[in-house]
Structure 1
């Protein structure tokens, strides 16, 4: 696989499995209905494991625009390759969301609440305060990125052997810092599926909450770059 295809495939797997576990837990009449937060956080961490492991050899398994930008800032990734990685991540996230929707289409049809349907695709805050929501995403991604920089200290990429610690890191962040906003910590993870929510013929859907959409994009990017700055200071 080329790096572009690696990022696309890895991100698509991430979203199929990550959004898939959310669909299983919150949509009506699924086998996993009402599985709770623990199911979602474990499912997302395993989604990260699969996505990272599948794409590590081809692309370094960034799967996240915030990670790509922060690694470039830290001198661990070539800036000229950033646009292609961001495009691959977005396309992969959109593809993954579409596949997830196909798998759960009957349950989307069975679910009456439009907010629940949107919640399968993208994040939303438990308490809506955009500045504080932004800060929460910044903090979560700061912790995530700083840890990744230490995990990959001796390497320029996320190798296959780093898949498990990264997955456990996502699990820890979900359980600890995921309560306020649902811990997007990844612009593509939120924006790609949000776009697909707007485009797909979902029965009785609501708007895609574009007024909130900048928070899980800019918050993670700011947090990741801040982590890269701190990493450079302490090393």
Structure 2
């Protein structure tokens, strides 16, 4: 009996025995519990960091989204500049692609939190349509300007050596100038009036395209693909009307980086050229163009879509079918 018991104990103690397996499972279970406990503490800590205020969440989203837009867009301009592609069709095409991809990624980053406006003119247009609360507008606009400013600072830091070599004196109007990496400037000979119309039309086209892409009553793209089509709209404006003024069509994208260049040593020339305050056009005109584009789409197409018209008819029929207040009971 003793030998049998000893052999059983030896059998149980050998690796792979049932007893040993149960022991490892017990130890594993204990480790799992410790791991789960650690993750619970981490999750609780992260939950405490979660932003509860909707406006603060939207502020952070718009800041990061605009940062992404301008970072990739201005980075594309800088690369074109230092590769020697300034003024060439291929170089400008690269800039269009860069800004379009930056917009697409920025919208994907932020769409579920803030709607992915990344442009104060777009935010204003949505306010006029009742799709964004007016209280949120200054929050969105401030976030967008800060995001663009920080993106310009990041591009400046990444390309600092090349900027310093190419444009040590930080100029605006010379062929070697690098201020155009960050903000838009008119082509030589452009009149103020044509620049005004250029930005008005470009922003109206962009906003009209955004309205069409996001209109559930119209033939909008499948859910999740909207940012791609918004980026294609932006690309279309760029390749058609980008020559005169670099198609700023976004006050944050232009003004935020322009402020940065003024602080980074480019001087007062970032505000005036030949005594003309060109910065006013890309900073303020889009605030007119975007609402115009939004309302032209809504009045010309959106409110007349079949589904919208059917809804109005259904509501009218519902009202007619209800008993009149003067009807005898």
Query: Which structure is larger by alpha-carbon Rg, 1 or 2?
Result: 2
**1:114 pairs with 2:178:** no
CA distance in structure 2 between the partners assigned to 1:230 and 1:168 by the alignment? 20
User: What CA deviation, in whole Å up to 9, does each residue of 1:135-189 have, x standing for no partner?
Assistant: 100001111101111111139xxx8531100111111111111111110010000
SS at match of 2:207: helix
Number of aligned residues? 226
CA distance in structure 2 between the partners assigned to 1:68 and 1:49 by the alignment? 17
**1:187 pairs with 2:251:** yes
**1:142 pairs with 2:212:** no
Q: Give the direction of change, closer, same or farther, for the CA distance of 1:160–1:55 in structure 2 (3 Å limit).
A: farther
Relative contact order higher in (CA < 8 Å, ≥ 6 apart) = 1
From 171, 178, 185, the equivalent of 1:124 is 185
What TM-score results when the alignment is normalised by the length of structure 2? 0.65
From 289, 294, 308, the equivalent of 1:228 is 294
CA distance in structure 2 between the partners assigned to 1:184 and 1:160 by the alignment? 26
CA distance in structure 2 between the partners assigned to 1:145 and 1:191 by the alignment? 19
**1:98 pairs with 2:153:** yes
Q: Give the direction of change, closer, same or farther, for the CA distance of 1:83–1:160 in structure 2 (3 Å limit).
A: farther
**1:25 pairs with 2:80:** yes
CA distance in structure 1 between the partners assigned to 2:298 and 2:104 by the alignment? 27
From 25, 32, 46, the equivalent of 2:101 is 46
SS at match of 1:184: coil
Task: Using the TM superposition, give the Cα deviation of residue 101 of structure 1 relative to its aligned residue in structure 2, in angstroms.
Answer: 0.5
Moved over 4 A (4+): none
Unaligned residue ranges in structure 1 (runs of 5+): none
Question: What is the root-mean-square deviation in Å for CA atoms of aligned residues?
Answer: 1.8
